[in-house]
Amino acid sequence: MVDRRRMVRNYTDAPVDPAIVDRLLANALHAPSAGFSQGWAFLLLDTRDDVKRFWKSTEANEGLPDSWLSGMHRAPVIVVPLSCKQVYLDRYADPDKGWTDKDETRWPVPYWDIDTGMAALLILQTATDEGLGACFFGVPREKWDAFRAEFGIPEQYTPIGAITIGHRAPDKPSPSLKRGRKPVAEVVHRSHWRSSPG
Amino acid sequence: MVDRRRMVRNYTDAPVDPAIVDRLLANALHAPSAGFSQGWAFLLLDTRDDVKRFWKSTEANEGLPDSWLSGMHRAPVIVVPLSCKQVYLDRYADPDKGWTDKDETRWPVPYWDIDTGMAALLILQTATDEGLGACFFGVPREKWDAFRAEFGIPEQYTPIGAITIGHRAPDKPSPSLKRGRKPVAEVVHRSHWRSSPG
């Protein structure tokens, strides 16, 4: 399944079974999270009108070719995974963690974004399992205000990206893939950095 | 499978089949990444000595109960997923992306950490599939220098956490789980924030 999943950027007009959408979201909630904080939320857009409002508010289309746009715009469902740092800061101020100062610099990496990204991957994987296509892409920071205003999203919640979901139509693989997957020998370091790759 | 995966904090002394370790790492490389940047690396520690050096250099044990420590220390394999922002900045300076200023503020969220986190989840999932236990946990920022020195890790690479891998022994579920999983109705917002949860 890991091998089959890839970003799908073109969709048919066919609607997605709501029961599948439920499964996508239910599985997302099984992502791990630091201290079981679960500092995430998911905006589900599953009507033509809501999907249109998403594209209009985020205008994630600048500089993209029309073929990309029309294919992506046909996706009948969009899920926006949102991360919330404050939930993590609050969770780790609990007695069993003890970071009562809620100081963000205590955090080595932004687990709110990482955990929510894991939830996003579970959505992508579940879509693949269900025979659907999905694509995870970024929401430009300069569009966050318009996006939040359109859907009533609180300031504390950050869209770490958005996921289109639908039935696959033929599409061209991303040109980025021409770069090739890095081989194990290049990215895995055993025992010591580059001392015995692979 | 999504339901079965959970963090395992106690292991037997049994070694892990190297072929399984290969699969864990091969699957990790199938994580998605922005622009197919693949700005990640994985430090594999699979000898008693290397694993000991990891624990000694990171001392991730402060304030943790002995039962946690002894169980975690028995894990025969540790994989440290590392993210590299610079690879992403360089990738997006390519002609097809055009962010030639390599300005980090262009990035809405740290996809280097998010993508590497997705790779970490693929390792956790593969371990579960193989009948093994695994646990993803943070490496304190104040230990990064010692950790990098011990294993020759370049400054540009950030340990987003570490993953213990081994054969499961009985363990107590994390006290964090008592918080309970947040229900779909709480974290999923349809069409508009909290206007019609679930």
- Cα distance from N-terminal residue to C-terminal residue, chain B: 23
Q: Distance from B48 to chain A by nearest Cα, in Å?
A: 11
Contact between B171 and B71 under an 8 Å Cβ cutoff? The reply is: yes
User: Residue B197: its pLDDT value, please?
Assistant: 42
Region B185-191 average pLDDT: 96
The reported pLDDT for the residue numbered A194 is 86
State percent of chain B over pLDDT 90.
Answer: 84
Over the stretch A23-44, which tens digit does the pLDDT of each residue have? 999 999 999 999 999 999 999 9
Tokens of A120: 């996003």
Amino acid in position B78 = I
Q: Which residues contact A64 (CB under 8 A, 6 or more apart)?
A: none
Q: Cβ(B11)–Cβ(B163) under 8 Å?
A: no
pLDDT at B174 over 90: no
Q: What are the start-end ranges of the E strands in B4-161?
A: 40-45, 77-83, 133-137, 158-159
Residue partners of B81: CB distance under 8 A and separation at least 6: B28, B40, B41, B42, B116, B117, B119, B120, B123, B159, B160, B161, B162, B163
Quick check: B136 pLDDT over 80? Answer: yes
Q: What is the pLDDT of residue B172?
A: 84
Would you state the pLDDT for residue B39?
98
ipTM over 0.90: yes
Q: Confidence band (pLDDT; 50, 70, 90) for B50? A: very high
Tell me: domain A18-173, CATH 3.40.109.10, correct?
Answer: yes
| Cα dihedral: A179, A183, A189, A193 (round 10) | -40
- On the 0-12 / 13-18 / 19+ scale of CB atoms within 10 A, A167 is middle
User: Which residue in the set A26, A158, A182 is minimally distant from B109, CB to CB?
Assistant: A158
Looking at residue B66, its pLDDT comes to 72
User: Does A121 touch chain B if contact means CB atoms closer than 8 Å?
Assistant: yes
Q: How confident is the model at residue B1 (pLDDT cuts 50, 70, 90)?
A: low
Please give the Cα distance from B49 to B65 (Å, whole number).
Answer: 23
Q: Chain A residues with CB inside 8 Å of B98's CB?
A: 63
Question: Minimum mean pLDDT among A59-63, B19-23, B113-117: which range?
Answer: A59-63
B142-160 tens-digit pLDDT = 999 999 999 999 999 999 9
| pLDDT, chain A, mean | 93
Render pLDDT for A74-118 as a digit per residue (tens, 0 to 9).
999 999 999 999 999 999 999 999 999 999 999 999 999 999 999
**B188 — pLDDT class (breaks 50, 70, 90):** very high
Distance from CA of B31 to the nearest CA of A (A): 8
For residue A198, what pLDDT is reported? Answer: 43
Residues sharing a CB contact under 8 Å with residue B13, sequence separation 6 or more, in sequence order: B74, B76
Task: Supply the angle between the helices B18-28 and B111-129 in degrees, to the nearest 10.
Answer: 140
Beta-carbon separation of B188 and A25 below 8 A: yes
Q: Are B43 and B82 in contact (CB under 8 A)?
A: yes
Q: Which residues of B touch A130 (CB under 8 A)?
A: none
A8 pLDDT exceeds 90?
yes
Q: Is the pLDDT of residue B195 over 70?
A: no
Q: How far off is chain B from A88, nearest CA to CA, in Å?
A: 13
Asked whether the predicted pLDDT for residue A59 surpasses 90, the reply is: no
Chain B partners of A47 at a C-beta cutoff of 8 Å?
Answer: 191
Residues of chain A in contact with residue B7, where contact means CB-CB under 8 angstroms, are 32
Q: State whether B144 and A191 contact (CB < 8 Å).
A: no
Cβ atoms of residues B55 and B61 within 8 Å: yes
- What residues of chain B lie within 8 A of the CB of A138, using their CB? 34, 108-109, 111
User: What is the model's pLDDT at position A61?
Assistant: 55
Phi, psi of B101 (to 5 degrees): -80, -10
Q: Across chain B, what does the average pLDDT equal? A: 93
CATH 3.40.109.10, applies to B18-187 = yes
Interface contact B117-A122, CB threshold 8 A? no
